[in-house]
Amino acid sequence: MRDPSYEEYSLLPKDESSAGDLDGGYREPRSTSIWRATKWAIIICTLLILVDIAIYLRIRHILFSTDLHPDELPIQNPYIGLDELYSLTDVKPSKFDPLINVPILATQISRAEPDKAFPVDTHQWLSDYGTLSPPDRNLHVTNTINTIVQFHILDWGMEKCAITVRLPARDAVLPHEYELKDTRGTIRLDICELEATRPLNSLDLTWKKHPKCFEHVGTIDARVGEEVKLEPFFDCQSGTFRAFEISCSPEMPDCGVNVWSNHNDTWGLYITQYQTV
């Protein structure tokens, strides 16, 4: 029987896990450690979200605070370095024949219907591959109807231009209507350049709303069965848009012509571009 007056001591277990607990001292409970890591993760994620929101608000402010319409963005030159190449070196360019530049837009306006926007691309048709828009352009001028055409000058180094009118022979057989009102085989047409340095919206082209003329280019005597160029030629910088209004000349106010270009022949009004390098 154990004597209560004596103290007894017992040895601690000698397994490694117990010894490690004693050597490492006090250890934080596992649940507290997990909570602390979770708290820092939440703080970091919150900061990242706030940074993303700040960046989004800044970009939104920049985009919506500008008054620049997408149509007013500057048109960049795709022919980078060609000006320097040919101006600073003795490189001899190849020679190219004049090329034909057909209008990207051709539509009509009428003083008799000042609020009417004439339809464009009326010859489009539905094929097995979808809707196709042929490169048909209409030159239609009478004593009440004028034609507006717009060109996109694309080719670099072909920057001397001439307004050209080509009319079929009187008895020509064409796939589209062809009307000609004249007395001596010549139609006098006035050409006026419009204030339009950007692509025109055909829905806004009415007699009342179309761009105004800022320069009278000249009067061309279009002859039946011939191609006639308006002189003098003018500079046409690559990358620019040029728009013109065609009307009856005051000397022939009751003129009349209605002709369509087609995929085989270019009739009506177009631009001939000549090499300048």
pLDDT tens, position by position, 136-150: 899 999 999 999 999
111, pLDDT greater than 80: yes
**What percentage of the chain carries pLDDT values higher than 90?**
48
Which pLDDT band holds residue 16 (cuts at 50, 70, 90)?
low
Cis peptide before 134 (omega within 30 of 0): no
pLDDT on residue 1: 52
Instruction: Report angle CA 273, 194, 191 to the nearest 5 degrees.
Output: 65
Average the pLDDT over 30-54 and give the result.
84
How far is it, in rounded angstroms, from Cα 201 to Cα 224? 32
pLDDT tens, position by position, 117-138: 998 888 888 888 888 888 889 9
Cβ(150)–Cβ(237) below 8 Å: no
How far is it, in rounded angstroms, from Cα 231 to Cα 226? 16
28: left (phi over 0), alpha (psi -120 to 50) or beta: beta
Minimum mean pLDDT range among 12-16, 128-132, 211-215, 250-254: 12-16
pLDDT on residue 218: 94
pLDDT tens, position by position, 165-205: 999 988 888 888 888 887 688 899 999 999 988 899 998 89
Could you tell me which of 149, 147, 150 has the C-alpha nearest to residue 110? 147
231, pLDDT greater than 80: yes
User: How much is the mean pLDDT over the chain?
Assistant: 85
